A and B are shown apart, each in its own frame.
Chain A
């Protein structure tokens, strides 16, 4: 008879937990919207995270909850966006297209190495060595091209000069390279803005000039040339305010170092 007690107790426990879980499953059941699945199918499925949500599924959920708008997906084609908007029952607006821009022009030939580096051929690893990489300019591009394979759209290629080149047609402004670059050299600039500063050095003009023939020397000529108060030398570096800039390219003309440039391959 003794065997009955453990058998009954265990059965009782199992039954209690089973029934408890069944009730809990009913009570705490989360109803998922069938539209989420529909929208998910229309999305590109690249899971790039450019919208700020955890993957395309997260974005679809966010759309349903009204937390984000269709325009936040920079990858989806116009057509797909319109279809998603139709599912949601909202009108779709034009998205301001942007592409990534590299704020450095100091390639292999222009900026010398400080020492012979034989570690992993990786920007992130090289950046850990000797206080910021092997280049004379500690702000500049290291040139091992960590950004290139990270781009989900194959928009970044490495040039002969060991500088990444962004293909403006392919770039979807997903922000991955901006986050990956250990030197923080990429920013996203709206496509219609053409002028950019190809330098990130905060060194004094003298030091920058010693390290790199094309760096910003903070002379301030661009500041004076700009009629729209859009460019300012802040902490030894010219910065463009894209809310004011009209792409008139006056600053490009006066820049003695040819640091301020006009983007090539204008799209749209």
Chain B
């Protein structure tokens, strides 16, 4: 394991390749749950949790089930199946074992079961860490870190957005732009700012 590699993954996932603002994945919860900072924070934690755990489980499935049977081309459909049932399972467990945690995270879990950002990070892991048809050494840990920091980037974008939208409530927005349209304008401006990390490529 290489600390500098993990550091590079962190910077890349949080800023340069931010899932929302650079890759445009997971826009639905980004606009849906960004009205209040408080719920944005809980949603962010839920996404981090789901991304990390699904990276863990999909790496295992890909390495031990899909590769031996030579069916890597089915990864998307299998990952959806795996993530959806895993998140369902986690939801049940949390609901039973810890009601306060369920109150804080649980209501967001169904929202992100097969969110494209979650699926995106698992596919990205497979693309990055399985060149040819075998796993890179240490890629299990790397893929978990990659997913974790993708979640952190998601949360960062969500919290920034919610802060702006809380202030936006008080602003005098033209009638035709009120609500979702102005949120999209804000999102695109934020995205421009995040593009600055990678530089424009034409």
Residues of A within 8 A of B (CB): 5-6, 9-10, 13-14, 17-18, 20-21, 24-25, 28-30, 54, 120, 122, 124-125
Contact = CB atoms under 8 A, between A and B. Distances in A.
A28 B88 contact: no
B96 A30 contact: yes
A9 B81 CA distance: 13
Given A17-B85, A54-B103, A6 B171 contact: no
A10 B61 CA distance: 12
A119 to B, nearest CB: 8
A17 B170 contact: no
Interface string B45-74: 000000000000000000001000111001
Contacts of A28: 92-93, 95-96
Interface string B69-111: 1110010011001100100110011011000000100000000
Interface string B133-161: 00000000000000000000000000000
B95 A6 contact: no
Interface of B: 65, 69-71, 74, 77-78, 81-82, 85, 88-89, 92-93, 95-96, 103, 170-172
B170 A124 contact: yes
A247 to B, nearest CB: 40
Contacts of A6: 69, 71, 74
Contacts of B171: 120
Given A6-B71, A13-B65, A125-B170, 19 more contacts: A5-B69, A5-B70, A9-B65, A9-B71, A10-B78, A10-B81, A13-B81, A18-B85, A20-B85, A20-B89, A21-B88, A24-B89, A24-B93, A25-B92, A28-B93, A28-B95, A30-B95, A30-B96, A120-B170
Contacts of A25: 92
A20 B57 CA distance: 15
Contacts of A5: 69-71
Q: Which 5 A-B pairs have the closest CB atoms?
A: A17-B85, A28-B96, A28-B92, A125-B170, A6-B71
A250 B103 CA distance: 50
A10 B77 contact: yes
B19 to A, nearest CB: 26
Nearest to A14: B81
Contacts of A54: 103
A16 B110 CA distance: 21
Contacts of B89: 20-21, 24
Best-surrounded residue of B78, B93, B170, B172 (most CB of chain A within 10 A) = B170
9 contacts: A6-B71, A10-B81, A13-B82, A20-B85, A25-B92, A28-B92, A30-B95, A120-B170, A120-B171
Nearest to B77: A10
Contacts of A29: 96
B45 to A, nearest CB: 18
Contacts of B69: 5-6, 9
B90 to A, nearest CB: 10
Given A6-B71, A9-B69, A124-B170, A24 B92 contact: yes
Contacts of B103: 54
Nearest to B66: A9
Contacts of A20: 85, 89
Nearest to B65: A9
Contacts of B92: 24-25, 28
B5 to A, nearest CB: 32
A30 B92 CA distance: 9
Contacts of B170: 120, 122, 124-125
Nearest to B86: A17
Contact of A120 (B85, B88, B172): B172
Nearest to A54: B103
Contacts of A24: 89, 92-93
A25 B92 CA distance: 7
A28 B89 CA distance: 9
B87 to A, nearest CB: 11
Contact of A17 (B74, B82, B95): B82
B54 to A, nearest CB: 13
A17 B71 contact: no
